[in-house]
């Protein structure tokens, strides 16, 4: 057991993602400014803040959907550390469909609504060269099972699915190629509370089993408490507080975090 924990620690010694002084402006307005942090293998980092705090801008810059004005986003690729901001688009998109995954808040943005569930899951496999129909289909069915969608729905279109199922399908579609870093934008937003819990459980299990790292943007403090190892609190484009998730939530130091935490309704 001690041996195992040592290998765990050794594998996690090198950051998977290093963000350095990332800044994105919209004209004179700040999207996000001077953001620096690391993400280690197997680690889940939460980013919270209210609408307009810059958390979505930050996520878009990290995932390569937006080009930051300044800063570096260094990812540990199979060939060594690379600044993804300076990468060519072809290479960055290749990264986006192999080592990275992006789970949109609205599953409609992350799914092809006119393509069957199996086709949706299989697309990433086909994009990286899978050419065996039976193999692709088996893998798609396996993944539907892992996100608790009945194998009998493999040929149904996502438009026939409930919101929670669509979100789970989106996760399956993203994780089928075993990415190492998953970006999630409000993954449980817009879902019923009971469906949220199911999704959280699923995500936690997948993160642990696959050794995934994840960056989760949300405004739901309960979600980050259960999912995130570390937490960053954003306001006005800046990170105002960062640390261990439960420490930031239970002993918030910054004025804004205290306000945020005390504003949550208790059940």
Partner 1 sequence: MSDQAYNFAYLDEDTKRMIRRAILKGVAIPGYQVPFASREMPMPYGWGTGGVQVTAACLTPDDVLKVIDQGADDTTNAVSIRKFFVATAGVAVTEATDQATIIQTRHRIPEAALTAGQILVYQVPIPEPLRFLEPRETETRKLHELEEYGLMHVKLYEDIAKHGQIATSYAYPVRVEGRYVMDPSPIPKFDNPKLSGNAALQLFGAGREQRIYAVPPFTHVVSLDFDDHPFSPSKANHACDLCASDTSYLDEVITDDEGGRMFVCSDTDYCASRRAGGHVGALGAPLATGKAVQ
Partner 2 sequence: MIEIENLCKSFTLHNQNAAVIPVMAGANLAVGRGECVGLIGASGAGKSTLMRMVWGNYLAASGTIRVGSLDVVTASPRQIIALRRETLGYVSQFLRVVPRVPTLDVVAEPLLNLGVPAGTARARAAELLARLNIPQRLWDLSPTTFSGGEQQRVNIARGFAHPFPALLLDEPTASLDAANREVVLTLILEAKARGAAILGIFHDEGARDRVCDRLIDVRAFTPKAAA
**Contacting residues toward partner 2, per CB under 8 A:** 1, 4-5, 7-9, 12, 40, 43, 194, 197-198, 200-201, 204, 208, 225-226, 229-230, 243-244, 246-247, 250-251, 253-255, 258-259, 262
Q: Which is nearer to partner 1, 160 or 264 (CB)?
A: 160
- Using the rule CB under 8 A, is 179 a contact of partner 1? no
Query: Strands 80-83 and 70-77: what pairing?
Result: antiparallel
**Of 8 and 133, CB closest to partner 1:** 133
Q: What whole-number distance in Å separates Cα of residue 230 and Cα of residue 209?
A: 19
Nearest CB to partner 1, comparing residues 177 and 257 = 177
- Do residues 149 and 169 touch, judged by C-beta distance below 8 A? yes
> What residues contact 260, with CB distance under 8 A and at least 6 apart?
48, 50, 221, 233, 252
Q: Is the Cβ–Cβ distance between 83 and 72 less than 8 Å?
A: yes
| Backbone region of residue 162 per phi and psi (left: phi > 0; alpha: psi in -120 to 50; beta: other values) | beta
- Among 6-14, 31-39, 128-136, 210-218, the segment contacting partner 1 (CB under 8 A): 128-136
Among 47, 73, 136, 169, binds partner 1 (CB under 8 A): 136
Of residues 145-164, those binding partner 1 (CB under 8 A): 154-155
Q: How far apart are CA 14 and CA 61, in angstroms?
A: 22
Partner in contact with 225, chosen from partner 2, partner 1, none, beta carbon below 5 to 8 Å by kind: partner 2
Letters for 101-120 (x = contact with partner 1 by CB under 8 A, - = none) are -----------x-xxx-xx-
- The window from 24-32, 48-56, 93-101, 221-229 that contacts partner 1 (CB under 8 A) reads 93-101
Q: Rounded to the nearest whole angstrom, what is the least distance from the CB of residue 258 to partner 2 in the complex?
A: 5
**Cβ 58 vs Cβ 239: under 8 Å:** no
Q: What angle do CA 57, 204, 152 make, to 5 degrees?
A: 100
The tokens describing 94, both together, are 């290749």
Taking the alpha carbons of 37, 79, 95, 188 in that order, is the dihedral positive or negative? negative
Nearest approach in angstroms of CB 87 to partner 1 is: 12
Q: Which C-beta is closer to partner 2: that of 37 or that of 100?
A: 37
- When CB distances are held under 5 to 8 angstroms depending on the partner's kind, the choice from partner 2, partner 1, none that residue 247 binds is partner 2
Nearer to partner 1, 137 or 219 (CB): 137
| Exposed/middle/buried for residue 123 (C-beta within 10 Å: 0-12, 13-18, 19+) | buried
**Which of 65, 82, 93, 108 touches partner 1 (CB under 8 A)?**
93
CA separation for the pair 107, 170 (Å, rounded): 6
Q: What does the block give as tokens for 150?
A: 């009945």
> Which of partner 1, partner 2, none lies near 136, with the C-beta cut-off 5 to 8 A by kind?
partner 1
Interface with partner 1 by CB under 8 A: which residues?
89-90, 93-94, 97, 112, 114-116, 118-119, 122-128, 131-137, 154-155
């Amino acid at each position: 057991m001690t041996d195992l924990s040592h290998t765990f620690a050794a594998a996690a010694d090198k950051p998977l993602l290093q963000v350095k002084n990332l800044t994105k402006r919209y004209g004179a307005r700040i999207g996000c400014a001077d953001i620096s942090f690391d993400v280690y293998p197997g680690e889940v980092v939460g980013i919270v803040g209210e609408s307009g705090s810059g958390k979505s801008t930050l996520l878009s810059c990290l995932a390569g959907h937006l080009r930051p004005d300044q800063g570096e986003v260094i990812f540990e690729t199979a060939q060594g550390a690379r600044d993804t901001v300076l990468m060519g688009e072809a290479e960055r998109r290749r990264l986006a469909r192999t080592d990275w995954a992006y789970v949109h808040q609205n599953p409609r943005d992350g799914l092809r609504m006119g393509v069957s569930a199996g086709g949706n899951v299989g697309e990433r496999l086909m994009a990286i060269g899978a050419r065996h129909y039976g193999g692709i289909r088996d893998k798609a069915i396996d993944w539907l099972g892992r996100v608790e969608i009945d194998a009998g729905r493999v040929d149904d279109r996502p438009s026939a699915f409930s919101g929670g199922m669509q979100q789970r399908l989106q996760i399956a579609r993203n994780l089928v190629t075993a990415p190492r870093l998953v970006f999630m934008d409000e993954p449980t937003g817009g879902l019923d509370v009971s469906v949220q819990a199911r999704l959280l459980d699923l995500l936690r299990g997948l993160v642990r089993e696959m050794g995934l790292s994840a960056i989760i943007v949300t405004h739901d403090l309960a979600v980050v408490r259960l999912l995130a190892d570390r937490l960053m609190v954003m306001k006005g484009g800046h990170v105002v507080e960062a640390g261990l998730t439960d420490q930031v939530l239970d002993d918030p130091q910054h004025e804004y975090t205290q306000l945020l935490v005390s504003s949550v309704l208790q059940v």
